[in-house]
Amino acid sequence: MTVRFGRYLRHKFNAVPKVADGIRFASTKEADYYGRLKMRMRPGGDVLFFLRQVPVHLPGGIRYVVDFLEFHNDGSVHFSDVKGFKTRQYLTKKKQVEAIYPIKIEEV
């Protein structure tokens, strides 16, 4: 959520949006993690490829969007969410996703 202060917009959790590779990220922390994932995709790295902003559908037309879906060279798949602040809504949706689907969301 953004809050307007005069002509300026500020995120309510003080997250500073950042652009990397022409992609707008919600926070500097998320953009930095994206950069680390790209480095881990290089030869000899442990990440084969990754997807960004992957929706997970929940009952009642609700959806949860995981920041990164990582596919590792060892065949494992990781759901990673970059969080600076854990809201009650986030914790509730995360619990629902993990109860319905056989996945574990890792917080970065």
| Domain range enclosing 53 | 2-107
CATH code assigned at 73 = 3.40.1350.10
Residue 12: per-residue pLDDT? 57
Residue 15: per-residue pLDDT? 78
Burial of 108 (0-12, 13-18, 19+ CB in 10 A): middle
Number of structural domains, the chain?
Answer: 1
Residue 37: per-residue pLDDT? 98
Residue 7: per-residue pLDDT? 56
Task: Retrieve residue 34's tokens.
Answer: 């994206």
Q: Decide: helix, strand or coil at residue 47.
A: strand
DSSP symbols for 30-72: HHHHHHHHHHHTSTT-SEEEEEEEEEEEEGGGEEEEEEEEEEE
Name the pTM for this structure.
Answer: 0.85
pLDDT bucket at 16, cuts 50 / 70 / 90? confident
